[in-house]
Amino acid sequence: MKILLLGSGGREHALAWKLAQSPLCSTLFIAPGNAGTSGCGVNVNLSPLDFEAVGKFCVAESIGMVVVGPEEPLVRGIVDFFAADRALRNIPVIGPSASGARLEGSKAFSKQFMDRHHIPTAGYREFNSSNYAEGIGYLQQHSLPIVLKADGLAAGKGVMICQNHVEAVAEFELMLQGHKFGEAGNTVVVEEFLTGIELSVFVLTDGRHFLTLPPAKDYKRVGEGDKGPNTGGMGAVSPVPFADAVFMDKITQRIIIPTINGLLAEKIDYKGFVFIGVIKVGEDPYVIEYNCRLGDPETEVVMPRLKNDLVELFTAVTEQRLNEWEIETDHRTACTIVAVSGGYPGSYEKGLPITGLDQPLTGDTLIFHAGTRAEKDAILTNGGRVLCVTSFAETVYEAVDKSRDVLDKIDYDGIYYRRDIGYEFL
């Protein structure tokens, strides 16, 4: 079967690496891909948001399955677009319909969904221009800190954690009246702040059954010791030491099962990944957010640990036979460290040559590209997160050490990476 994977980040390189290993995959295309994905298949210069062009390519190449990496095509309805087109409707797409992708695309929808299905999450209220004044009053009596969330997709920047009431009211005003996040901020969710430690849980569902992939922990802040601004993610580890069997069972019973049953009960077509951002408060799990895709850089540790054939699992998803499978994982710890451009998550340069990518690697280390592109014989930086190095070892300490060793031999102008990924588990 020919497979088309949409996206161009580190997540997609890890997915491409995994898909290409399947004997069921005859040719893998990645659109648009990066300098790393071209080692796993054929990069195609197509935008994942140009559904017409993606559809034409699928027909021309007799694609047998489309795998969607990022959220935006899903939220904009790529699954529905395929389902509505006579030439495309028989090509399975791994990812939810637009109505399912609202779990990520609308914070208000996801909070209401959790309410309806009694899924533990922070208490909240929703505000828009019609109850703006009431919102100001609500904020002024709210306990601190206050979490404000733009309802729609805001490129990972839509969550503000405000330490005082003045700041909260100012942010609220900026979102609702200043249109700071455009339409995405026309509704604002005001939420209680939860204190605890976070982990990322990945569920693959066929709309009826589900399988839980190994959980991971990501490191969102740019600086060591979790300081500085939020980023897309600076590193990840899997397994997560505090996510023991007892805690994972609470997540399954209280969160995963009600989520899958809730989607089914609401007749929401969902064949793909549910990424549940969970926070452990005391001994109890709460949902911080849902995403309708895999995480980045979590995928770069989850895919290497997954022993199953991913194409076999995806085929089972499309045929609603996921109950016939079990997830098999490598028992070792995987750690990934992300190298970013100087200045990230603020402004940064692109087009800088990368050296050290051709160093010999041991069998338990992998380099995944993110923001890179090939030009003649060189590989150049092409984004904020440039690449990541994943290593396997028996302990977090050794895995981090191996990745750091490889990164120390990679260079480009302004390269930066955190040396302390996994620090709380060392």
Per rule CB under 6 A, is residue 288 in the interface with ligand AMP? yes
- Least separation in angstroms between CB 234 and ligand GLY: 9
User: Could you tell me if 277 and 292 are in contact, meaning their C-beta atoms sit under 8 angstroms apart?
Assistant: no
**Interaction between residue 71 and ligand AMP (CB under 6 A):** no
Of 292-321, binders to ligand GLY (CB under 6 A) are: 295-296, 298
Query: Which listed option, ligand AMP, ligand GLY, none, makes contact with residue 193 (CB within 5 to 8 Å by class)?
Result: ligand AMP
Tell the smallest beta-carbon distance from residue 289 to ligand AMP (Å): 4
- The listed partner (ligand GLY, ligand AMP, none) that binds 159, CB under 5 to 8 Å by sort, is ligand AMP
For residues 268 and 277, the answer to whether their CB atoms sit within 8 Å is no
Q: Which two tokens stand for residue 319?
A: 């045929």
Q: Which of 159, 169, 257, 264 binds ligand AMP (CB under 6 A)?
A: 159
Q: Which of residues 195-254 bind ligand GLY (CB under 6 A)?
A: 218, 233
From the list ligand AMP, ligand GLY, none, pick the one residue 218 interacts with, judged by a Cβ distance below 5 to 8 Å according to partner type: ligand GLY
Question: How many residues of this chain bind ligand GLY (CB under 6 A)?
Answer: 6
Whole-number Å distance between alpha carbons of 197 and 128: 31
By beta-carbon proximity to ligand AMP, the closer residue of 123 and 353 is 123
296 binds, among ligand AMP, ligand GLY, none (CB under 5 to 8 A by kind): ligand GLY
- Of 193, 397, 416, 425, the one binding ligand AMP (CB under 6 A) is 193
The binder of 191, among ligand GLY, ligand AMP, none, by C-beta within 5 to 8 A per type, is ligand AMP
Q: How far is the CB of 292 from ligand GLY (least distance, A)?
A: 11
Quote the least distance from Cβ 296 to ligand GLY, whole Å.
Answer: 5
Query: What size, in residues, is the chain?
Result: 426
Terminal-to-terminal C-alpha distance of the chain: 43
Stretch that binds ligand AMP, among 37-45, 85-93, 172-180, 190-198 (CB under 6 A): 190-198
Chosen from ligand GLY, ligand AMP, none, partner binding at 194 (C-beta under 5 to 8 Å by type): ligand AMP
How far apart CA 282 and CA 333 sit, in angstroms, is 25
For residue 416, the partner it binds in ligand GLY, ligand AMP, none, with Cβ less than 5 to 8 A by kind, is none
Q: In which element (H, E) is residue 188 found?
A: strand 188-192
- All residues at 6 or more sequence positions from 361 whose CB lies less than 8 Å from its CB, including other chains: 367, 406
Residue 203 in the binding site for ligand AMP (CB under 6 A): no
Give the sheet arrangement for strand 197-205, strand by strand: 210-212, 197-205, 272-281, 284-291
* Contact in structure between 298 and 243 (CB atoms under 8 Å): no
> Could you count the other beta carbons within 10 Å of the beta carbon of residue 47?
13
What angle (nearest 5°) sits at the alpha carbon of residue 29, between those of residues 2 and 275? 95
Q: How far is the CB of 225 from ligand GLY (least distance, A)?
A: 19
The three-point CA angle 219-221-222 to 5° equals: 110
Burial profile 194-211: b = 16 or more Cβ within 10 angstroms, e = fewer: beeebbbbbbbbbbebbb
Query: Which CB sits closer to ligand GLY, 218 or 309?
Result: 218
> 380 with 406: CB under 8 angstroms?
no
Q: How far is the CB of 233 from ligand GLY (least distance, A)?
A: 4
User: What are 58's two structure tokens?
Assistant: 């699928």
Among 137, 156, 178, 225, binds ligand AMP (CB under 6 A): 156
Residue closer to ligand GLY, measured from CB, 80 or 296 = 296
Tokens of 93: 């797409």
Q: Is 171 left (phi over 0), alpha (psi -120 to 50) or beta?
A: alpha
The answer to whether 82 and 91 have CB atoms below 8 angstroms apart is yes
Shortest gap between Cβ of 292 and ligand AMP (angstroms)? 13
Q: What distance separates the 2 farthest-apart alpha carbons in the chain?
A: 62
Residues in the interface with ligand AMP (CB under 6 A) total 13
Chain contacts with ligand AMP (rule: CB under 6 A): 122, 147, 156, 159, 191-194, 198, 220, 277, 288-289
Chain contacts with ligand GLY (rule: CB under 6 A): 218, 233, 291, 295-296, 298
